Protein backbone atom coordinates (compact mmCIF):
# COMPACT_ATOMS: atom_id res chain seq x y z
CA UNK A 1 0.00 0.00 0.00
CA UNK A 2 1.22 3.49 -0.86
CA UNK A 3 0.13 6.16 1.61
CA UNK A 4 0.34 9.84 0.71
CA UNK A 5 0.90 11.87 3.88
CA UNK A 6 -0.44 15.43 3.58
CA UNK A 7 0.80 17.77 6.33
CA UNK A 8 2.55 20.96 5.30
CA UNK A 9 2.77 23.06 8.48
CA UNK A 10 5.88 23.19 10.65
CA UNK A 11 5.11 25.38 13.69
CA UNK A 12 2.56 23.06 15.25
CA UNK A 13 2.06 21.56 18.68
CA UNK A 14 4.71 19.10 19.90
CA UNK A 15 1.79 16.71 20.52
CA UNK A 16 1.07 16.73 16.77
CA UNK A 17 4.72 15.84 16.08
CA UNK A 18 4.64 13.01 18.63
CA UNK A 19 1.47 11.53 17.08
CA UNK A 20 2.97 11.91 13.61
CA UNK A 21 6.14 10.08 14.68
CA UNK A 22 3.99 7.16 15.85
CA UNK A 23 2.03 7.12 12.60
CA UNK A 24 5.18 7.25 10.47
CA UNK A 25 6.79 4.50 12.53
CA UNK A 26 3.70 2.31 12.12
CA UNK A 27 3.67 2.85 8.33
CA UNK A 28 7.35 1.85 8.16
CA UNK A 29 6.89 -1.23 10.35
CA UNK A 30 4.08 -2.43 8.08
CA UNK A 31 6.46 -1.99 5.11
CA UNK A 32 4.01 0.33 3.39
CA UNK A 33 5.35 3.03 1.10
CA UNK A 34 5.02 6.55 2.47
CA UNK A 35 4.74 9.26 -0.18
CA UNK A 36 5.17 12.90 0.76
CA UNK A 37 6.08 16.32 -0.59
CA UNK A 38 9.84 16.01 -0.04
CA UNK A 39 11.89 18.35 2.08
CA UNK A 40 13.04 18.29 5.67
CA UNK A 41 10.52 20.31 7.68
CA UNK A 42 7.10 19.90 9.20
CA UNK A 43 4.86 16.99 10.03
CA UNK A 44 5.20 15.33 6.63
CA UNK A 45 9.00 15.24 7.02
CA UNK A 46 8.58 13.85 10.54
CA UNK A 47 6.33 11.06 9.20
CA UNK A 48 8.85 10.34 6.42
CA UNK A 49 11.78 10.19 8.86
CA UNK A 50 9.94 7.89 11.26
CA UNK A 51 8.76 5.59 8.47
CA UNK A 52 12.25 5.33 6.94
CA UNK A 53 13.82 4.66 10.34
CA UNK A 54 11.30 1.84 10.90
CA UNK A 55 12.31 0.23 7.60
CA UNK A 56 9.60 1.58 5.31
CA UNK A 57 10.08 2.75 1.77
CA UNK A 58 9.69 6.52 1.46
CA UNK A 59 9.25 8.49 -1.75
CA UNK A 60 9.33 12.30 -1.85
CA UNK A 61 8.47 14.75 -4.60
CA UNK A 62 9.88 18.22 -4.12
CA UNK A 63 9.40 21.21 -6.44
CA UNK A 64 12.56 22.84 -7.74
CA UNK A 65 11.78 26.10 -5.90
CA UNK A 66 11.76 24.33 -2.50
CA UNK A 67 14.79 22.23 -3.36
CA UNK A 68 16.80 25.42 -3.95
CA UNK A 69 15.91 26.61 -0.44
CA UNK A 70 16.52 23.33 1.45
CA UNK A 71 18.25 20.75 -0.78
CA UNK A 72 18.87 18.20 1.98
CA UNK A 73 16.81 15.06 2.39
CA UNK A 74 15.38 14.05 5.77
CA UNK A 75 16.91 10.57 5.81
CA UNK A 76 19.47 8.78 3.69
CA UNK A 77 17.13 6.01 2.51
CA UNK A 78 14.41 8.35 1.25
CA UNK A 79 14.25 8.68 -2.53
CA UNK A 80 13.33 12.19 -3.57
CA UNK A 81 12.46 13.30 -7.10
CA UNK A 82 12.86 16.99 -7.90
CA UNK A 83 9.96 18.16 -10.09
CA UNK A 84 9.44 21.47 -11.86
CA UNK A 85 6.34 22.84 -10.12
CA UNK A 86 4.11 22.40 -7.10
CA UNK A 87 1.36 21.34 -9.50
CA UNK A 88 3.48 18.53 -10.92
CA UNK A 89 4.33 17.48 -7.36
CA UNK A 90 0.65 17.20 -6.40
CA UNK A 91 -0.20 15.26 -9.55
CA UNK A 92 2.67 12.79 -9.11
CA UNK A 93 1.93 12.27 -5.40
CA UNK A 94 -1.79 11.70 -6.03
CA UNK A 95 -1.27 9.31 -8.94
CA UNK A 96 1.44 7.40 -7.07
CA UNK A 97 -0.67 6.77 -3.94
CA UNK A 98 -3.44 4.39 -2.93
CA UNK A 99 -4.74 6.41 0.03
CA UNK A 100 -4.37 9.96 1.36
CA UNK A 101 -3.63 10.41 5.04
CA UNK A 102 -4.20 14.01 6.10
CA UNK A 103 -2.49 15.34 9.24
CA UNK A 104 -2.69 18.90 10.59
CA UNK A 105 -1.32 21.33 8.06
CA UNK A 106 -1.69 24.64 6.31
CA UNK A 107 -2.89 25.85 2.93
CA UNK A 108 -0.94 23.17 1.04
CA UNK A 109 -2.58 20.46 3.10
CA UNK A 110 -6.06 21.83 2.45
CA UNK A 111 -5.17 22.05 -1.24
CA UNK A 112 -4.17 18.38 -1.26
CA UNK A 113 -7.39 17.37 0.53
CA UNK A 114 -9.52 19.09 -2.08
CA UNK A 115 -7.34 17.96 -5.00
CA UNK A 116 -7.81 14.34 -3.87
CA UNK A 117 -11.53 14.80 -3.25
CA UNK A 118 -11.95 16.47 -6.64
CA UNK A 119 -10.09 13.65 -8.39
CA UNK A 120 -12.36 11.13 -6.65
CA UNK A 121 -15.46 13.10 -7.58
CA UNK A 122 -14.44 13.42 -11.24
CA UNK A 123 -13.47 9.74 -11.41
CA UNK A 124 -16.80 8.72 -9.88
CA UNK A 125 -18.64 10.94 -12.37
CA UNK A 126 -16.66 9.62 -15.34
CA UNK A 127 -16.67 5.93 -14.39
CA UNK A 128 -18.38 4.81 -11.22
CA UNK A 129 -16.82 1.34 -11.49
CA UNK A 130 -13.35 2.70 -10.70
CA UNK A 131 -11.97 2.40 -7.19
CA UNK A 132 -11.70 5.74 -5.41
CA UNK A 133 -8.75 6.73 -3.24
CA UNK A 134 -9.78 6.94 0.41
CA UNK A 135 -9.00 10.19 2.18
CA UNK A 136 -8.40 9.75 5.91
CA UNK A 137 -8.27 12.94 7.95
CA UNK A 138 -6.52 12.59 11.32
CA UNK A 139 -8.44 15.19 13.32
CA UNK A 140 -6.00 15.54 16.23
CA UNK A 141 -7.14 17.70 19.14
CA UNK A 142 -4.98 20.70 20.00
CA UNK A 143 -3.83 21.59 23.54
CA UNK A 144 -7.32 22.93 24.29
CA UNK A 145 -8.96 19.71 23.11
CA UNK A 146 -10.37 21.31 19.96
CA UNK A 147 -10.12 19.04 16.89
CA UNK A 148 -7.72 20.54 14.33
CA UNK A 149 -10.08 20.12 11.35
CA UNK A 150 -13.27 21.11 13.22
CA UNK A 151 -14.03 23.97 10.83
CA UNK A 152 -13.41 21.87 7.74
CA UNK A 153 -15.75 19.15 9.02
CA UNK A 154 -18.50 21.71 9.65
CA UNK A 155 -18.04 23.28 6.21
CA UNK A 156 -18.22 19.92 4.46
CA UNK A 157 -21.32 18.92 6.48
CA UNK A 158 -22.95 22.20 5.43
CA UNK A 159 -22.12 21.49 1.78
CA UNK A 160 -23.75 18.04 2.03
CA UNK A 161 -26.78 19.44 3.86
CA UNK A 162 -27.22 22.03 1.10
CA UNK A 163 -26.71 19.38 -1.60
CA UNK A 164 -23.60 21.06 -3.00
CA UNK A 165 -21.78 17.75 -2.63
CA UNK A 166 -23.25 14.27 -2.46
CA UNK A 167 -21.76 12.72 0.64
CA UNK A 168 -19.03 12.43 3.20
CA UNK A 169 -17.65 9.01 3.98
The answer to whether residue 169 is domain-embedded is: no
Mean pLDDT per 10-residue section of the chain, whose length is 169 residues: 92 93 97 92 92 94 79 67 92 93 94 91 69 91 93 93 80
Question: Can you give the residue range of the structural domain that contains 25?
Answer: 2-161
pTM of the model as a whole: 0.89
We report the CATH number of the domain holding residue 59 as: 3.40.50.450
**Residue 30 and residue 56: Cα distance in Å, rounded?**
7
- Phi/psi of residue 115, each to 5°? -65, -45
Q: Is residue 126 part of a domain?
A: yes
Assess if residue 168 is contained within a domain. no
Residues 10, 16, 21, 26: is their CA dihedral positive or negative? Answer: negative
Is position 110 within any domain? yes
Q: For the chain, how many structural domains are there in total?
A: 1
Assigned domain for 167 exists: no
Amino acid sequence: MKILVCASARNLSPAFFAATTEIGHHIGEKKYTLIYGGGDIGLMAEAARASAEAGGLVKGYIPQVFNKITPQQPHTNIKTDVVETIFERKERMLFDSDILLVLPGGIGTYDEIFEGATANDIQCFADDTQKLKPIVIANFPDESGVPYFRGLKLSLEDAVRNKAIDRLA
